């Protein structure tokens, strides 16, 4: 009889645990289907957790929705189950479905083209440097990568009807290439006030790859919290620090992983705020190429896949420069010749 009572008690306990588990599961489902409008409304997110999330870049529901539980756990120290619940609520609160081609076409109508002041170069790029995209220019030293960067930093400030974007430029300088004197020359040639142009270029020197990545993440703060109308982000050069810090094949995987994360941040900025990201890239000579041009961009497939447009720059005849469009989602491979004058980039 005692055994029968004990068995009955165990069965009751098991039934109670099962019922509680089912109730908890039902509560989780209900919580996951509720909708919120901001991060502080997410379940389990108090002031301290909110501060931790924002400090590492989780500033809106979309950034939470596209993250993994491991990323949230690492950033805040919260449990894996809570992280999963937060992500589920964030995803349910956003319209993360498919868009029609018509919707995307309407979004494409907002894209702006920033002029290079060279008709041939503009033609090569379908009208100029496109907002909402990453444009990579790679080439040997002296191939005019930085000159194009400085020209764009000025031209982005032009009115939209003159090939600009009425915007501000953020210049992340990794090789000490930014020269205000050169910007003044280009601004005068464009008929703009040199002092005002310099005021609208926000320059930051990056001293290592981590600093470079942090500066890219801080651009969102400039836009959202300080209301700066950033329409162009320049990284000159993208790979210099990564190349110097990660030496040898043993570090290649770590380097590529960091570089991939960095470019995803830049890609998100371009897409979210309809701005142009212009990155310059170093090159190397492939030792196994005996015929043709052995020049290849640093960064491998990671940089190639993350760049919307890729342009190879080289020196031409009589001091000219040649730009070759080597990758584009909608434009054919072609070349354009231009020159660098005192007033900036010009047609031959």
Q: Tell me the C-alpha distance between 222 and 261, whole Å.
A: 20
Mean pLDDT of 118-129: 97
Q: In what order do the strands lie in the sheet with 201-205?
A: 201-205, 168-173, 230-236, 276-281, 134-139, 309-315, 321-327, 334-341, 344-346
- pLDDT tens-place string over residues 56-108: 778 788 888 888 898 888 888 888 898 899 999 988 888 767 889 998 899 89
Query: Predicted confidence band at 20 (pLDDT cuts at 50, 70, 90)?
Result: low
- pLDDT tens-place string over residues 178-210: 999 999 999 999 999 999 999 999 999 999 999
Specify the pTM.
Answer: 0.80
Burial of 38 (0-12, 13-18, 19+ CB in 10 A): exposed
Mean pLDDT of 36-49: 86
Query: Looking at the chain, how many residues does it have?
Result: 348
β-strand partners of 284: 296
pLDDT for the residue 3:
55
The answer, yes or no, to whether the previous bond of 237 is cis (omega within 30 of 0) is yes
- pLDDT tens-place string over residues 241-254: 999 999 888 999 99
Least confident of 18-22, 155-159, 227-231, 309-313: 18-22
Q: Tell me the C-alpha distance between 315 and 309, whole Å.
A: 20
pLDDT for the residue 225:
85
pLDDT for the residue 5:
56
Q: Which domains does the chain have, with CATH numbers?
A: 2-93 (1.10.150.20), 104-346 (3.40.50.300)
């Amino acid at each position: 009889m005692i055994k029968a009572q004990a068995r009955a008690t165990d069965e009751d306990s098991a039934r109670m645990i099962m019922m509680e588990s089912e109730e908890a599961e039902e509560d989780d489902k209900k919580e996951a289907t509720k909708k919120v409008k901001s991060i502080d409304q997410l379940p389990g997110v108090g002031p301290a957790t909110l501060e931790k999330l924002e400090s590492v870049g989780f500033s809106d529901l979309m950034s939470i929705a596209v993250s993994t539980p491991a990323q949230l756990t690492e950033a805040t120290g919260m449990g894996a189950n809570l992280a999963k619940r937060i992500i589920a609520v964030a995803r349910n609160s956003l319209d993360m479905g498919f868009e029609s081609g018509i919707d995307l076409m309407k979004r494409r109508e907002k894209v702006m083209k920033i002029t290079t002041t060279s008709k041939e170069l503009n033609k090569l790029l379908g009208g100029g440097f496109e907002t909402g995209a990453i444009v990579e220019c790679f080439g040997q030293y002296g191939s005019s990568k930085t000159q194009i960067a400085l020209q764009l930093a000025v031209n982005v400030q032009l009115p939209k009807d003159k090939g600009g974007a009425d915007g501000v430029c953020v210049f992340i300088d990794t090789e000490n290439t930014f020269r205000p004197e050169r910007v003044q020359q280009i601004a005068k040639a464009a008929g703009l006030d040199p002092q005002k142009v310099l005021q609208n270029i926000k320059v930051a020197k990056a001293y290592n790859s981590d600093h470079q990545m942090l500066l890219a993440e801080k651009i969102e703060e400039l836009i959202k919290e300080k209301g700066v109308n950033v329409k162009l982000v320049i990284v000159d050069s993208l790979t210099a620090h990564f190349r110097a810090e990660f030496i040898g094949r043993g570090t290649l995987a770590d380097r590529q992983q960091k570089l991939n994360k960095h470019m995803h941040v830049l890609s998100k900025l371009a897409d979210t705020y309809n701005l142009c990201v212009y990155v310059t890239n170093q090159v190397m000579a492939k030792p196994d190429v005996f015929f043709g041009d052995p020049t290849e961009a640093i960064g491998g497939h990671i940089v190639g896949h993350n760049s919307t447009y890729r342009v190879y720059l080289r020196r031409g005849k009589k001091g000219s420069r040649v730009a070759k469009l080597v990758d584009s989602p909608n434009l054919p491979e072609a070349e354009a010749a231009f020159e660098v004058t005192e007033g900036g980039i010009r047609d031959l």
